[in-house]
Amino acid sequence: MKYKWLNKSNNDKLVIFFSGWGMDDYIVSGLDCGEYDVVTLFDYNDMSLDIDLSGYSEKHVIGWSMGVLISTLFDFDNVKTRTALCATPYTVDDNYGIPKRIYNLTVKGFSEDSLQKFMERMFRKGTTLKKYSNRTFESQKSELEKMAEYKAGKNCRFSKAVIPEYDLIIPTKNQMKYWNENKDNGLNDKPIVLKTIPTGHCPFSVFKSWSDIFVDL
């Protein structure tokens, strides 16, 4: 696994962001860090995490897309909130994620053209972005193959789930089904805050800062 610090200013509070499949820090680089140090984790071809995140009195874990599943595999101390963006801990799942048949067909037919179409489908009304990440095609392809092997870990208790109304990647109805069935099983035995937003699978146009994502918790 790779990482990049978006802000490292010796703050007491830390945001740990698990990015989505095929991504790095690029698509979230415009969010204001405010009073938080922020580290982005990405590239799940290798699941080892060689970084020291100790020394923070308060941590906020955010997973986006397939990063929601990956976030459940790691323990951190002093976690105040865990937020799931546009996904569930069951990324490849007929009921709660991407239907298995569709995922397998995506892997089988993966190409430069299908990658571009996938990226465009992340948005509700298209996008003017010319680039989505600095990852290579080869690393994205191998990561797509590996993601089907990963299973949710023990850290499946979240504080908040943000569900896009127009998700063409992980069907909105599947996300709603999972979070409504599990909304009483939140972090520290508190109900999970469910919030819908009028976006597609990429939600970052509605947030100005990292704290906007979990500010109401």
According to the model, what pLDDT value does residue 129 have? 73
Residues β-bridged to residue 2:
42
Mean pLDDT of the chain, nearest integer: 94
Q: What does the DSSP assignment read for 140-184?
A: HHHHHHHHTT----S----SEEEEETT-TTTTHHHHHHHHHHHTT
According to the model, what pLDDT value does residue 184 have? 94
Task: Name the residue among 21, 20, 48, 41 with its Cα closest to residue 142.
Answer: 21
**pLDDT less than 50: residues of the chain:** 217
According to the model, what pLDDT value does residue 217 have? 44
Residue 120 belongs to domain with CATH number: 3.40.50.1820
According to the model, what pLDDT value does residue 124 have? 80
According to the model, what pLDDT value does residue 128 have? 66
Q: Tell me the HSE value of 131 on the side-chain side, using a 13 A CA sphere.
A: 9
According to the model, what pLDDT value does residue 215 have? 79
